[in-house]
Amino acid sequence: MKKILLVLLTLVFVGDVVYAQTSNRKGRRTVIKAKPVVRKDTVVAAAPAKWDSTMCFPLSADKNYSLYDYVIYLDDERVIKRFKPFFDKHKYKFSGYVWEALLKDMLADADKEISSNAVIRSESNAVMINITKYQNIKKFPEYMCRIFSNLTKFNEYLQKANRAKMPQY
């Protein structure tokens, strides 16, 4: 019996506190909104970061593992907006595997020192590039930037690409 009485008194006391927080002058009711709770393990989508000015778009630094010299993140909205229409136009999948084949095709026209020292690895949503000679780390983006900044030239590479070497996934 004492437990029931104690529970009832607690409910009445809590009800008065809640009523006091929600009531206002002249009989109006206001609702107090709680702040959203974000757990530490929750991923919150942030606004796209400003592109690193030392990098040539879409090349960026490896922000996940710091293993690669350059990375092209294909899930970045800016990359999708700029390059995906060309892939759709030529009926290529917009995946890292197709980008890898395309970059190798672009590097075939480059200086042998650049092309022979670039190691390209891909995943479905990213292309990772390592340069094996330190002297060529600056030469690679200089060469690739001429292609990436000129969308007509980029379109020409997609147009003349060997479809037999392009993966369909």
- 106-120 residue pLDDT tens: 999 888 999 999 999
- 122-169 residue pLDDT tens: 999 999 999 999 988 889 999 999 999 999 999 999 999 888 888 877
The domain ranges of the chain are 1-32, 70-160
- 71-84 residue pLDDT tens: 999 999 999 999 99
Is the pTM for the entire model greater than 0.85? Answer: no
Strand partners, 128: 71, 121
In what side-by-side order are the strands of the sheet with 70-73?
70-73, 126-131, 118-123
Structure tokens at 167: 């993966």
